Chains A and B, each alone.
Chain A
Amino acid sequence: MPAEIIMPKLGMSMEEGTVVEWLKKKGDPVKKGESVVIISSEKIENEIEAPEDGVLLEILAEQDETVPVGKAIGYIGQTNENVERSQSTTTIKQANQETATSVETMKPIEIDMKRQKPRVSPAARKLALEAGIDLNSISGSGPNGRITRADIQKAIQAKRSDSGFQLKRKPEIATMEQKPMNQTGVTVKAITGMRKVIATRMFTSLQQSAQLSIHMRADVTELLEIQKKARANLIDEQDVKLTITDFIAQATILALLNHKQMNSIYQDEHIHIYDSIHLGIAVALENGLMVPVISHAEKLSIREISRKIKDLSLRAKEGKLESEEMKGSTFTITSLGAYGVEFFTPVLNPPEVGILGVGTVTDTPVFVGEIVQRRSLLPLSLTFDHRVIDGAPASKFLSTIKDYLEKPYKMLV
């Protein structure tokens, strides 16, 4: 940390001193105790010695400049400590100085602090304090950017129109935004378009609901055989290639019909339970994700569902979805199976109260009776909103999905 060269107090009445001459130039090496600068008060001239070994990093007060006693007139430090670095240490010093006892050394620091703070009118400061508004988050509209009472009133209004939850979080976000020190090679991108929608929806989701996730494994050994057969036999007729996803969707739809409270949304302090199932399917894109919706999914055959999923995900990737096709889902399925993930904690797609996360099928040795068999297990993760659904009914719902997947014939009935 660079050391300050301070304008010393050379007499009882000395309040300021003038730099007569710098004996060293910026960048010159200096030894502790070596004279670096001559200063004068009204009566005397004095040579000031370097407080430590190093180089003269910075000259703050040029020749003939008059500065108050106690104020730094230069910095001595190591060659690698550049100007920027010494400024940051000033900031650290400011913090430390708050508890320092020496009034003289505090003086210049106080001036620096004032410069950094936003200008705020007293009335605005008081109002902001009462309303819990962070002054650093506001830009002032008054002269010299002074924050006025009207600016705070605006901020309060903006705060009111937001939800109460979000507001209280805001100061925390502000502290998160502090940049790490000494970081180079940063790309800063504005959050726009789809990224902004995702950011807002996911953040709101986690802030405004009581989410938790439960996990189960479904034995899909039989289902996979059926799927393979169906795929082989049905492919020529109607160009349908049934995938495991299609069966999971079908099992979910049937389970939702059995557990209607999962097919609901939480809005305006009310739970809205729907008869129709509009199933959202999360589709990963190159730079984001979309959730196209299969509406009235309970009325479709597995073949129609299969076709619909393929069509929607293809068009999602091509960016050709209509906005109507991405609205109104009542439950969502998301899958990370293709990336080798087993279990995860999906984030609810608000205002829905449930989302099913599908993992990768893993062949596992399993006891079937007394015999260990090679079985294909599908990891399922269900996130639900505990404000609406409790753990037991959520588990029953997940069990029902598991049951359909393990006993595929049930899906036919």
Chain B
Amino acid sequence: MTRKISFSQAINEAMKLAMRKDENVILLGEDVAGGAAVDHLQDDEAWGGVMGVTKGLVQEFGRDRVLDTPIAEAGYIGASVTAAATGLRPIAELMFNDFIGSCLDEVMNQAAKLRYMFGGKAKVPLTIRTMHGAGFRAAAQHSQSLYALFTHIPGLKVVVPSTPADAKGLLLSSIFDDDPVIFFEDKTLYNMKGEVEEGFYTIPIGKADIKRKGSDLTIVAIGKQVHTALKAADMLVEKGLETEVIDPRSLSPLDEDTILSSVAKTGRLIVIDEANPRCSVATDISALVADKGFDYLDAPIKMITAPHCPVPFTPVLEDLYLPTPEKVLHAVAEMIGDESFVAV
């Protein structure tokens, strides 16, 4: 049975199901319960995270398993790594991915390395949920998309879902994965609704999803940009082009086969990634196709990304910063040399 629920409800449901399934699953982060040790708060008055994503969990699982932490990322992320290495399955909420600077050593040098450095005897079944994405008027320190940082580090898995159904299945896979997973949630998607299966199910990490079939052009889009790609695909139908939209869903591991076989079919690739353009997932996927799929290409690869600058606070500039379907059409016009594709 499916029903329409929001992206944040799907994530909440996944955590609930995981915590019911395995008592080793705990949740910790800033405000995930909604006010640590504030006893006068009634049950449903607890915040449940800054966006309400963890709402209701403290009521069901109690304060032993849903822990409000101090505003000290190095502290609770470090605690999560240790808890994971010693037998729990923690879900740590790093409120904004922009805060990784405060706890990068715990993630990069501890969580990612322990299994390798202990010859496989240690494992770190940790999931770090974190918000990313621009378009929320949250300025330069709360709007970045830093998944490329983690994709660069071996030992970490990186998941970026684009729909409620994917978010639920992938989060359950992440929680029960024995390796550390960085799970990205675009804050502007939280209210997006979609059909989601009831009950427990998983979606394998490392398997891309073809969100739309097409024969003339492949768009690989990350996270929220999948929806930009789908809108552009609708517009391109009017121009006689059938676009295949691929959602990698996880950036590490990356489903290279699905991307390459799509480009083999269409001969053209656009990558949409709202992160900054240098050393990014967009450049990584482009390099993959240029390297392993060179003979498939019938046009230069185009990347639609943010400019190489911080996310602006002024709404006008923030809107310009993000990829749009119109930018996709411009890229297609360049690829096929047909100016009529450019929306006027």
Contact = CB atoms under 8 A, between A and B. Distances in A.
The finding on whether chains A and B are genuine partners in a shared complex, rather than unrelated, reads yes
A143 B334 CA distance: 7
Contacts of A148: 267, 298-299
Contact of A143 (B294, B296, B297, B337): B337
Given A121-B267, A149-B267, A126 B336 contact: no
Nearest to A126: B295
Contacts, number: 36
Interface string A171-208: 00000000000000000000000000000000000000
B189 interface: no
Nearest to A143: B337
A149 B298 contact: yes
B335 interface: yes
Nearest to B293: A122
B59 to A, nearest CB: 57
B337 A144 contact: yes
Interface in B232-275: 267
A289 interface: no
B267 A123 contact: yes
Interface in B277-335: 294-299, 334-335
Interface residues of A, number: 14
A318 to B, nearest CB: 52
B297 A121 contact: yes
Contacts of B295: 122-123, 125-126
A401 interface: no
Nearest to A145: B337
A122 to B, nearest CB: 5
Contacts of B298: 121-124, 142, 148-150
Nearest to A152: B298
Contacts of A143: 299, 334-337
A126 B267 CA distance: 12
A146 B334 CA distance: 12
Contacts of B294: 122
A143 B335 CA distance: 7
A150 B298 CA distance: 9
A119 to B, nearest CB: 11
Top 5 closest A-B pairs, CB basis? A143-B337, A123-B298, A126-B295, A149-B298, A121-B298
Interface of B: 267, 294-299, 334-337
Interface of A: 121-126, 141-144, 146, 148-150
Given A123-B298, A125-B295, A148-B298, 7 more contacts: A141-B337, A142-B299, A143-B334, A143-B336, A146-B337, A149-B267, A149-B298
10 contacts: A122-B294, A122-B295, A122-B297, A123-B298, A124-B298, A125-B295, A142-B298, A143-B335, A143-B337, A148-B298
